[in-house]
Amino acid sequence: MASGFAQWGNDLYTGRRSYDIVGRRKIWFTISTILVVLSAVLLIKPGLNPGIEFRGGSEFVVSDVVETDQQLAIDTVLAISPDEQPKVTTVGSNALRIQTSTLTADEVTEVKNALAAAFDVSAATDVTSSFIGPSWGKDISQKAITGILVFLLFVTIVMTIYFRNWRMAIAALIALFHDLIITVGVYAGVGWEVTPATVIGFLTILGYSIYDTVVVFDKVRENTADTLMQTRYTYAEKANLAVNQTLVRSINTSVVALLPVSAILFVGAFVLGAGTLRDIALALFVGMLIGTFSSIFLATPFEVALREREPAIREHTKKVLDARAARAESGDDDPVSAGQVRVAVGALKPGAHQGVTAQPKRKR
């Protein structure tokens, strides 16, 4: 199996095997658009569930309980403060976390004693309480937004300078926004609280996404450097080859990264319950998964779509296809694969059907 996978990767790199990723970009753009729209809907309703760190309030943790009865905790809080809407989560196998809005000092003491009595634990040692002001959460939110904006600005500048191509920088930013919106949308759909650990996860996936995209773009730049100096392949074909050549590497990197994150997510969600591990692991898992998709199926196809708007690229594509058609009519050997022909036809005629084109027979 390992040897077969290695042979598959070698075939992709040499071009003996090729997947028409760039040529079928309309499919990937449609999938991405649907995912972004669904994520946007989830962000509106039900919307994000901000944790106590962002909205402020009082928090109680009841430890060493025999039964983690969430309804009992809710009823206990409502008996003291009927207007409250407490949020109760199970932490591990023998603890509960109860969050409320800001309570007075007397109400905190009453709730603490009532919870101790309801769960038959010691109020002094097994029930802890804390208060978090909303101003702290507001400050964290502002810093997170500032961090994202600064990150995106530096990414744009560095990629434009490094690749000497603003189109690659734009495509990378589109992929970043795509990954971030979908990850946040999934988080909203799941309904887990957004905590500082969640924000850290969101910021981390931006770095992962841009890293994977830069690797693919580096190969695209290498393959397309001499595009206009030859008439054998189009820009889209050379870019598609670069995506195929980095496909195995992207898959391997993603699998290696997702395995430990999956383990952390499982432990955090099903073993330890609500907590920092669960919050950060979900953001990382979704972000890495969707980041792999965007680096392969979104970033390079979008960059190719931008480049094909250039008159020089369109003229070169037409020249290549005309020369290829002439060779086919004369019966000369055509070394270009069927997948590459399909990419080129799709580049020249975006509205045309991109079916499989048979490779001309070789003379014997």
Same domain, 85 and 25: no
The domain boundary residue, chosen from 132, 155, 188: 132
Same domain, 172 and 68: no
**Model confidence, pTM:** 0.78
Same domain, 86 and 106: yes
Residue 301: predicted pLDDT: 96
| Residue 96 is assigned to a structural domain of this protein | yes
| Residue 244 is assigned to a structural domain of this protein | yes
**What is the CATH number for 125?**
3.30.70.260
Contacts of 4 (CB under 8 A, 6+ apart): none
**What is the CATH number for 230?**
1.20.1640.10
The domain boundary residue, chosen from 100, 132, 164: 132
Same domain, 166 and 105: no
Same domain, 76 and 185: no
pLDDT averages per 10-residue partition of the chain, 364 residues: 71 83 95 96 90 84 89 91 86 85 87 92 88 74 81 83 86 92 92 84 85 90 90 92 91 89 84 75 91 93 94 92 86 54 47 39 42
Three-state secondary-structure class, residue 101? coil
Backbone angles phi and psi of 273, in degrees to 5: 80, -160
Same domain, 122 and 187: no
Domain range for 101: 57-132
In angstroms, what CA-CA distances link 180 with 108, 135, 226, 363? 38, 25, 34, 52
Residue 238: predicted pLDDT: 93
Angle between helices 338-348 and 235-245 (to 10 degrees): 130
Contacts of 179 (CB under 8 A, 6+ apart): 205, 206, 209, 287, 290, 291, 294
For the stretch 167-170, contacts whose Cβ atoms lie closer than 8 Å and that sit 24 or more positions apart, written own/partner, are 167/303, 167/306, 167/307, 168/217, 168/220, 168/221, 168/303, 170/302, 170/303, 170/306
| Residue 317 is assigned to a structural domain of this protein | no
Same domain, 127 and 264: no
Q: What's the number of domains the chain is made of?
A: 2
| Residue 266 is assigned to a structural domain of this protein | yes
Same domain, 73 and 200: no
Same domain, 107 and 253: no
| Residue 155 is assigned to a structural domain of this protein | yes
The pair of three-digit structure tokens given for residue 204, joined into one six-digit string:
């981390």
Same domain, 43 and 77: no
| Residue 316 is assigned to a structural domain of this protein | no
| Residue 331 is assigned to a structural domain of this protein | no
| Residue 104 is assigned to a structural domain of this protein | yes
Same domain, 279 and 186: yes
Same domain, 219 and 301: yes
Residue 134: predicted pLDDT: 67
